[in-house]
């Protein structure tokens, strides 16, 4: 199975499948190595649960700060919010150079809580399965790193998640890597608005 097939299975079948067939119970687990120096928090948007860490790439940090500015505006522009969360999700999922092991899964804080554990397990078994443990920062393994990303289109829509219809946004994204290793470069994400916060619930 190639890398593009891996992510198609995870995003398309896992996330969509859970969204269509209902909620699953979960208990949030702490990521491994959270006490490691490279993973200490630099900034936290406490109301929304988003965090910026020392290990995040410059591209991620720049986009995180853009999200912070959007969320500090009143009223919030939810189209801009949706585009920025979508970009951060993709950057974090597809950038593996800063991950310390196969269990250090990106994008979790942008997913709806009912999807997190299943997504984490499946990504660890596919896209992240060959990520070697790297605690000293001296990794020689060649891994993908998103270098540029653009949200090219956004559409306001409705999306039924579980038995509830939510206001939603469909965001089309295209991105590039520092080095092309054969990973996906485009995707459409669906985000729902639940209690004033946006969550990724579908990707294709």
Q: What is this structure's pTM?
A: 0.82
Say what the pLDDT of residue 30 is.
33
Residue 33 clears pLDDT 90, i.e. is over it: no
120 band by pLDDT with thresholds 50, 70 and 90: very high
d(CA 171, CA 188): 6
Buried/exposed code over 151-176 (b: 16+ C-beta within 10 A; e: otherwise): beebeeeebebeeeebebbbbbbebe
199 band by pLDDT with thresholds 50, 70 and 90: very high
Say what the alpha-carbon torsion angle 186, 187, 193, 197 is, to the nearest 10 degrees.
-50
Q: How many residues does the chain have?
A: 204
Residue 46 vs residues 29, 52, 71, 74, 119: alpha-carbon distances, Å: 19, 11, 11, 17, 23
């Amino acid at each position: 199975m190639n890398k593009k097939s891996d992510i198609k299975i995870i995003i398309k079948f896992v996330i969509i499948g859970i969204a269509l067939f209902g909620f699953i119970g979960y208990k949030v687990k702490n990521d491994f190595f959270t006490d490691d120096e490279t993973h200490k928090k630099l900034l936290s948007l406490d109301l929304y649960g988003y965090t910026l860490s020392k290990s995040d790439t410059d591209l991620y940090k720049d986009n995180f700060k853009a999200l912070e500015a959007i969320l500090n505006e009143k009223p919030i522009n939810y189209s801009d919010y949706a585009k920025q969360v979508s970009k951060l999700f993709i950057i974090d999922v597809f950038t593996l150079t800063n991950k310390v092991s196969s269990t250090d899964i990106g994008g979790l804080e942008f997913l709806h809580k009912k999807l997190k554990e299943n997504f984490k397990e499946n990504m660890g078994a596919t896209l992240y399965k060959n990520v070697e443990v790297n605690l000293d920062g001296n990794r020689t393994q060649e891994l993908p790193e998103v270098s540029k990303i653009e949200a090219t289109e956004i559409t306001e829509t409705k999306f039924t998640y579980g038995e509830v219809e939510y206001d939603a946004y469909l965001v089309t994204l295209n991105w590039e890597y520092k080095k092309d290793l054969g990973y996906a470069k485009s995707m459409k994400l669906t985000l729902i608005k639940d209690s004033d916060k946006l969550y990724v619930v579908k990707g294709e």
